[in-house]
Amino acid sequence: MLNKENVLEVLKDVIYFPKGDNIVALNMVENLMVNETGVRFDLIVEHLDDPKNDIMVNAAKRTLTDVFGEINVDVKVKEQETSLSKVKHIIAVASGKGGVGKSTVAANLAVALARANQRVGLIDADIYGPSVPMMFGAEDEQPACFEKDGKAVMVPLERFGIKLLSIGCFVDPERPLIWRGPMATSALNQLMNDTLWGELDWMVVDMPPGTGDIQLTLAQQYKVTGAIIVTTPQKVAFADVLRAANMFKEEALQIPIYGLVENMAYFTPSDMPDKKYYIFGKETGQQFADQLGVPLLGQIPIVEKIAECGDNGTPLALDADSPVTKAFDKIAHSVLNSKL
């Protein structure tokens, strides 16, 4: 008999393989309407442009007509409303290894984008070494939390016009996080999905170094617009840079790369802002970018104030006269005008 109960029972045979369950159990069937001539429902998906959507629609139609005969089956695909639904672009800031200033780049890039009149969010996904709270002077703050639709949601902190959130807001900064991979990825998903991000032009994600669970989770579960790779000038760093870049080119990830940022490219004394001392080697950043086949987005100088500002919770890119700010403004401009 053609009725709602029987239709839902039949639709349980339609499996959404990425999550290993049927579309009814996953709450992907909404607004089901059944009459004597046909069936109509909305199929709720994560991304409208996912080719797997057509597979599920065809499977649902075929399954229903196999059981109920030649009935009319009308399926409308709708995108799931999530906390990231109004985020236009997600950009991952990554590195092959730690100690290259990746978090400094992520924090100051977020500031530079905000200076360009963009609505910006910043997620500290470096689960094992969160540093964003210190860089933005938010070490002693926790986000507000309240219940919405029976679910606990967080309100991100705000600094300098940027919405930000970090696992560092919830853990003792003096104790190490001894977590297995699934716990770390669960923490990332909470930061991404259980937060009221609102309307953002850019979500900057400060990634942990290397190629691990967090990188895979971000790439496979979220629609990442592109990635920025951070390196230092030493040639010994290139092997790690190459691994990081190739990770994003893997078939399972396939995230475009905006380009390479060379941090600590040269030293500029505060009393001689036009001087450049290439203490770690000259033009290696451009050589790295050429070998990777990506643009060199910018070269970040070493200046005396960059570490001091990070430690004091005021990213140096807030200082309009700093050569660091000019470098990050150039990177932000390149990102905004990228054709990815």
Q: Which own/partner contact pairs does 138-143 have at CB distance under 8 Å and 24+ positions apart? A: 138/164, 138/166, 138/169, 138/313, 139/168, 139/173, 139/313, 141/169, 142/169, 142/170, 143/169, 143/195
Give yes or no for a contact between 77 and 112, defined as CB atoms under 8 angstroms apart.
no
Q: What is the pLDDT, as a whole number, of residue 13?
A: 95
Please name the residue that has the structure tokens 């006269």: 321
Mean pLDDT of 210-239: 86
Whole-angstrom CA distances from 153 to 8, 56, 124 are 30, 30, 17
159-205 pLDDT per residue, tens: 999 999 998 887 766 666 666 667 888 888 889 989 999 999 999 99
251-271 pLDDT per residue, tens: 767 899 999 999 999 888 877
* Statement: residue 42 has pLDDT above 80: yes
Written out in words, the top-level CATH class of the domain with range 87-336 is: alpha beta
Q: Say what the alpha-carbon torsion angle 302, 304, 307, 309 is, to the nearest 10 degrees.
A: -120
* Statement: residue 144 has pLDDT above 80: yes
Q: What is the pTM of this model?
A: 0.79
Q: What is the pLDDT, as a whole number, of residue 328?
A: 95
Identify each DSSP E strand in the chain by its residue range. Answer: 15-16, 21-22, 29-35, 38-45, 72-79, 87-95, 120-124, 144-148, 151-155, 157-159, 162-166, 200-206, 226-231, 257-267, 296-302
Q: Say what the alpha-carbon torsion angle 115, 116, 118, 120 is, to the nearest 10 degrees.
A: -40
Q: In what order do the strands lie in the sheet with 257-267?
A: 157-159, 162-166, 120-124, 200-206, 87-95, 226-231, 257-267, 296-302
Q: What is the pLDDT, as a whole number, of residue 177?
A: 63
Beta bridge partners of 259: 228
Give yes or no for a contact between 267 and 301, defined as CB atoms under 8 angstroms apart.
yes
Burial of residue 137, with CB atoms counted within 10 A of its CB: 0-12 exposed, 13-18 middle, 19 or more buried: middle
Angle at alpha carbon of residue 177, lines to 171 and 179, rounded to 5°: 125
Superfamily of domain 4-79: Fe-S cluster assembly (FSCA) (3.30.300.130)
Q: Which residue intervals of 136-177 are DSSP H helices?
A: none
Q: What is the pLDDT, as a whole number, of residue 230?
A: 95
Mean pLDDT of 193-218: 89
Distance CA 297, CA 81 (A): 34
Three-state SS at 117? coil
Q: Give the residue with greater pLDDT, 305 vs 107.
A: 107
What ranges do the domains of the chain cover?
4-79, 87-336
